[in-house]
Structure formats: structure tokens, C-alpha cells
Amino acid sequence: MKVLLVCAQGMSTSILMKKLRGYAEEQGIDFEINAVGIGSFKEVCEKYDCILLGPQISYRKDEVVRGTTRPVGVIAPADYGIGRCENIFKLIDSLLQQ
């Protein structure tokens, strides 16, 4: 699965991405994740299976939904903050089933 993580600048997500990659590897999940800032998501979003937003830009979800045909979800602040990978993968799975 290919996931695009959208945040304010595309930089604050590196720790979370590292945790998600490690979790996917441990679980044997075929997983690719990349991050971009909100201003760049339209250029690449159609290359991904779903889009996750960092909680700091959750207020822009409607804008992202209008800019893509992919399912869009917002990571819960607690899951984002401590890198609760199991919950984030549950969110990804729910988006992919839409």
C-alpha cells in the first residue's frame, strides 16, 4: 500500500514515518509512505492509495478531499503525537475499504 502523509510543511512527519515503516516491516506489510506539505499534495496525490493528514491541518480536510479522488483521513492527535502505529494502520485499512 502507498500512503501520502500531508502536513503543514512536509517536515514534521519524519519521526512518524520512520515508526510506521518499522511497524510495517515487523508486521510483514507491503508499505510505502511519503510526506508533503499541504501546498504540494495535488501534484502527487493520485500516485497513492490513500491520504493521511496530520492533526495540525485537519481543518483543511475538505480542501484535500476536493483535490483528489483518493480516500482521505485525519490522524488522531494522540496517535500522531506518540506514533501509535497500530491505530494509524487501522485508519489506513478503513480508508482502503471505502
Q: Which residues are catalytic?
A: 7
Distance of CA 53 to the CA centre of its chain: 5
Helix (H, G, I), strand (E, B) or coil at 63: helix
| Contact between 8 and 54 (Cβ < 8 Å) | yes
All three cell numbers of 66: 476536493
Residue length, the chain? Answer: 98
